Amino acid sequence: MPERAQTYITTPIYYVNDRPHIGHCYTTLLADVTARFYRLLKGSTDTDTGRTPDVFFLTGTDEHADKVVTSAAAHSVTPIQWADQNAAEFKKAFAFMNCSNDDFIRTTEDRHTSKVLAYIRELQKKGDIYLGDYVGWFDESQEEYLTETAAKEANFVSPVTGKPLVKKVEKNYFFKLSAYQDKLKAHFDKNPTFVLPEARRNEVLGRLRGGLQDIPISRAVTADPTSQWGIKMPDDPTHRIYVWIDALFNYLSVVDTPERKQFWPPAVHFIAKDILWFHAVIWPALLMALGRALPATVYSHAYWVRDGRKMSKSLGNFVTIEVLKAYAQKYSLDALRWYLVTQGPQGATDADFSHAKFVEVYNADLANGIGNCASRVSNMIEKYFEGKVPEFQSTWIDRRWETTSADAVPRYLEAAQSLDLAAAFEAASSLIKDVDDLISETKPFTLAKDMQANGQEVANILACCAESIRIASIMLSPAMPQKMAELWQAWNCVPAPGTPLQELCAFNGPHAIKPGQRIAKGAALFMRADPAETPPA
Ligand code: MSP
């Protein structure tokens, strides 16, 4: 992502008619890990230093969909009561996932609705909105309008849910999307990372070539109570603003204030492939019409699936929040975060949620990886040096680092800044492997049998290991903040708030482990898991 002083990161705002599940938690987790990475990179710690933060991470709920009215009625509550109840569920789910969002927007809040009205008025003033006749198809399950051609191609059923499309003939306000075709194309050409991954970018470019039609941005208000839910068009109470237009504006409305305006434009909108067109075409066109800067990147990941099949209500195969909680309870929340981030559908390919894979990754990366490596090193420091970092020879450890591990930090930075989180954590994990290799190669436990002769060498080896683990732990912390904090406590190397990542990751630099520093053995960070055990539920 381009280097800017401020980094603004968003997730989709989720429909409140559903309960949160793995999909919602996953996208919000990607945003959380990215936000934590950028806070670390910039040394941005608002609360600790009193400085204005440099990172702003937003999530929230999309509440004006028709489905809210129908679900509320089915539960004998009002739409806003239903929205309150479910928005609270999303807040709880993201708190459980330890997501560090700076704000949570609900589209029923005044701070949002008042801004939406102002944006619509502005678009009207600029001549980008007109009243016209809409004849076409509506996908009620997705709240999405389809053109005649698209509807025909989809055999007149929803391409996402398979439910029949509904024919619509109505007067609507339209947004002049067609006027932005060339500008959008030019923007894509100039900004190769505007939509990621590449496969998704090509998909949008392909559709763009097919031409753009103006889109309805309002729906008629009738006697039907469903049609009364939403924000009314300015000066025309017979129309309400189409829920998608209302929802997209959340990204702008929340930071369009004197205190937050420096965050605009967003560094990345994390979304999944289902809502790509809205974010890659309609949203940028609206922003162009408003004369606002465009987000740097729309990152559209693939889907979590189960046994190769899409998760859906009808199949009842969602990985629910309860399942996620059971995994966190058994293996720790950070292990769950690790599995989701490193094995998830971040690229263009769907990922299967599999218990066998979870256990394999947990054992390989965590129990036998960072966990075991940190235990081995602290145990030896305890045994041979009474739990204190010994006097070591800087030149020895620097040489070892330079020859085996020095590329890990730059690889991590490059991958994380290109939003390839799995590759970033792979670079961090490679340091753990380097430590294991150093131990197997040099066998400090054998050398230690004659400390008189080999004491200095053992000291060098263990100091090098401990310092490499410290650096790995900093890089792993955006994914596993709690476990790494536990390690820092035990090793007496809690990073000073506000210290930027590159400074913290300087090997044998100002924040390095020091001779005499107490390194407590502590409990194992991750207990080994038995692959034969049944999945938690
Ligand atoms: N309200 C709209 C978004 C408006 S944004 C201005 C919406 N909401 S949603 O509740 O349906 O959430 C869709 C998003 O949830 C996806 O884009 C993705 O981020 C996440 N996921 C839902 N199911 C998913 C999977 N099976 N796998 C991964 N993430 C998916 O659309």
Q: Whose CA is nearest to atom 30 of ligand 1?
A: 23
Looking at per-residue pLDDT, the higher value among 315 and 517 belongs to: 517
Question: Does residue 460 contact residue 452 with C-beta atoms inside 8 Å?
Answer: no
Residues whose CB falls within 8 Å of the CB of residue 328, separated by 6 or more in sequence, listed in order: 96, 335, 336
354-363, 450-459, 519-528: least confidently modelled range: 519-528
Q: Could you tell me which residues are beta bridge partners of residue 518?
A: 388
Q: Has residue 223 got a pLDDT over 90? A: no
DSSP conformational letter for 508? T
Q: Which of 413, 404, 418 is nearest to 468 (CA)?
A: 404
- Ligand 1 pocket residue status of 271, Cβ below 6 Å: yes
Q: Has residue 104 got a pLDDT over 90? A: yes
99-108, 138-147, 177-186, 427-436: least confidently modelled range: 138-147
Please write the tens of the pLDDT for every residue from 353-366. Answer: 999 999 999 999 99
Q: Can you give the pLDDT at residue 46?
A: 55
- Over residues 427-433, mean pLDDT: 98
CA distance 481 to 534: 27
CA distance 119 to 445: 68
Question: Does residue 149 contact residue 169 with C-beta atoms inside 8 Å?
Answer: no
- Over residues 22-50, mean pLDDT: 87
- Ligand 1 pocket residue status of 304, Cβ below 6 Å: yes
Distance 175 CA to ligand 1 centre (A): 24
When the pLDDT of each residue in the chain is averaged and rounded to a whole number, the result is: 95
Q: Can you give the pLDDT at residue 218?
A: 96
Distance 107 CA to ligand 1 centre (A): 16
- Ligand 1 pocket residue status of 14, Cβ below 6 Å: yes
Residue 274: CA count within 13 A, CB half-sphere? 17
- Ligand 1 pocket residue status of 31, Cβ below 6 Å: no
pLDDT bucket at 45, cuts 50 / 70 / 90: low
152-161, 435-444, 512-521: least confidently modelled range: 152-161
- Over residues 394-405, mean pLDDT: 98
Distance 270 CA to ligand 1 centre (A): 10
Q: Has residue 1 got a pLDDT over 60? A: no
- Ligand 1 pocket residue status of 507, Cβ below 6 Å: no
Q: Has residue 537 got a pLDDT over 90? A: no
Q: Which of 322, 358, 323 is nearest to 340 (CA)?
A: 358
Instruction: Please list, residue by residue across 31-60, b when 16 or more beta carbons sit within 10 angstroms of its beta carbon and e when fewer do.
Output: bbbbbbbbbbbbbbbeeeeeeebbbbbbbb
Nearest atom within ligand 1 for CA of residue 350: 27
Q: Has residue 48 got a pLDDT over 80? A: no
Q: Has residue 502 got a pLDDT over 60? A: yes
Q: Whose CA is nearest to atom 23 of ligand 1?
A: 23
Q: Could you tell me which residues are beta bridge partners of residue 269?
A: 10, 298
- Ligand 1 pocket residue status of 299, Cβ below 6 Å: no
pLDDT bucket at 51, cuts 50 / 70 / 90: low
Determine the distance from the C-alpha atom of residue 128 to the mean position of all C-alpha atoms in its chain, rounded to a whole number.
33
- Ligand 1 pocket residue status of 274, Cβ below 6 Å: yes
The 3-state secondary structure of 285-342 reads: HHHHHHCCCCCCEEEEECCEEECCEECCCCCCCCCEHHHHHHHHHHHCHHHHHHHHHH
Q: Which of 424, 429, 464, 426 is nearest to 444 (CA)?
A: 464
CA distance 266 to 278: 16
| Residue 455 φ then ψ, to 5° | -50, -45
Instruction: Please list, residue by residue across 224-260, b when 16 or more beta carbons sit within 10 angstroms of its beta carbon and e when fewer do.
Output: eebbebbbbbbeeeebbbbbbbbbbbbbbbbbbeeeb
Question: Does residue 422 contact residue 346 with C-beta atoms inside 8 Å?
Answer: yes
CA distance 507 to 402: 9
- Over residues 477-500, mean pLDDT: 96
Helix (H) or strand (E) holding 238: strand 236-241
Distance 115 CA to ligand 1 centre (A): 24
Distance 391 CA to ligand 1 centre (A): 53
- Over residues 212-235, mean pLDDT: 93
Q: Could you tell me which residues are beta bridge partners of residue 299?
A: 196, 270
Q: Has residue 230 got a pLDDT over 80? A: yes
Q: Can you give the pLDDT at residue 314?
A: 82
- Ligand 1 pocket residue status of 340, Cβ below 6 Å: no
* Ranges of H-type helices in 388-528: 394-404, 408-417, 421-442, 444-447, 451-476, 481-491, 501-504
Distance 229 CA to ligand 1 centre (A): 21
Q: Whose CA is nearest to atom 12 of ligand 1?
A: 14
- Ligand 1 pocket residue status of 86, Cβ below 6 Å: no
Q: Can you give the pLDDT at residue 313?
A: 81
- Ligand 1 pocket residue status of 247, Cβ below 6 Å: yes
Q: Has residue 141 got a pLDDT over 90? A: no
Q: Whose CA is nearest to atom 6 of ligand 1?
A: 248
For 404, the token pair is 């085996």
Give the whole-number percent of the chain exceeding pLDDT 70. Answer: 98
For 434, the token pair is 């380097």
Distance 246 CA to ligand 1 centre (A): 16
Which is it for strands 195-196 and 297-301: parallel, antiparallel or unpaired?
parallel
How many DSSP H helices and E strands does the chain contain?
23, 16
pLDDT bucket at 101, cuts 50 / 70 / 90: very high
Residue where the block lists tokens 């309008």: 145
Please write the tens of the pLDDT for every residue from 341-399. Answer: 999 999 999 999 999 999 999 999 999 999 999 999 999 999 999 999 999 999 999 99
Q: Has residue 47 got a pLDDT over 80? A: no
- Over residues 53-73, mean pLDDT: 95
Q: Whose CA is nearest to atom 5 of ligand 1?
A: 12
Which is it for strands 144-146 and 351-352: parallel, antiparallel or unpaired?
unpaired
For 19, the token pair is 């309960």
Residue 42: CA count within 13 A, CB half-sphere? 21
DSSP conformational letter for 449? G
Q: Can you give the pLDDT at residue 24?
A: 98
